[in-house]
Structure 1
Amino acid sequence: MALIDRCNRTGLMGRRREFDVEKALDAALCVFWRKGYEGASYTDLTAATGVERPALYSAFGNKEALFRRALARYYERYLNFIPVALAQPTSRQVAAHILRSAVELNTRYPDRTGCLGVLGGLAGSDESEPIRRALIDARANGEALLRERFERAKKEADLPETVNCAVLAAYVCTVLHGIAVQAKAGFTHDMLAAVVEQSLSTWPVRDA
């Protein structure tokens, strides 16, 4: 019995994890991107990852923990255009880079159009409220970064003195989120790109 206990503690008699955790996480990300948090069932997740539910629990914890890991990977791998945009020399270039990149990303994969960060938890049950709040907070953080960047642009005389930077950041985010919703609804890349150019055509500029 002592030998059995010792083997169990060291994993010699337990079932070893025989799958690639990183690949499983990527597969789960695609499921959440396509179906959202609540729409993704454990059947969907196990089918996509090729990993049974107990092994998923062992590797990632529960469904909420798996989604949070997938969301972090999504921001890291797919929204890396955001810091590039914030480094652009003018406020209009900042907005243009974000919106054009969003159009490209949201229409890149026919099987998972839209944005995981926007569409992942728009609505759901009381049990999924922590996920919905996490997504709201993530979007709010992004909007705050935009506001700070526009405030700097205002100080640098890139934007008119009359511009409300909080409203301007909210405007860009509203267009950004609308792109995600319409991409999910089937809008083409060309149509969404035209919408972006229309929104940029009214960008506030400082008088010479």
Structure 2
Amino acid sequence: MSIVTMIVLGLIVVVLIYGVMLYNGLVQVKHAVAKAWANIDVLLKQRHDELPKLVETCKQYKQFEQDTLQRVIEARSQVHAAREAQDIPALGQAEGALRMGLGRLFAIAEAYPELKANESFLLLQSRISALENGIADRRELYNDAVNINNVRIEQFPDAILARMFNFPARPLLEFSQEEKTDVDMKTLFG
């Protein structure tokens, strides 16, 4: 074997090893996004299971505002549908509506001393608040994983392999602007 042949074979081996390393890195990033989504999905399912209990507890107080309960039920349904479809943009919008509904529900509950003292309500409120915090934390991790994925598939030379092997960009989980604003207590009790 001549030296030129050995050099050419050596370069081919180096390029193949580099390509395999790039591909494996893209696979790792893709699975990090899937893992981050799975972590959010678990918390969303848990909260989905807790919300009917909260609504039923509030319904025990006949005078409790039914419109607020209906909004929470509808938003819960929208979150569930978006989660099942893995429609991240729709999930962000539905989450915004659900969080606003829960904020309103918890604020209105302040006007019902018996409800505020109800052990079930307090436990559910605490559990749902903890789940909300967990979802916010996991959302941040998911968005970080998505950002890393999206940057990698656009950078050279990763972009070449990403296109060849169909590694798609992933959407960020963003909440609507109205969800980010505080609940206006004057409109709630005005």
| TM-score, scaled to structure 2 | 0.34
Larger Rg belongs to: 2
| TM-score, scaled to structure 1 | 0.32
| Higher helix fraction (1 or 2) | 2
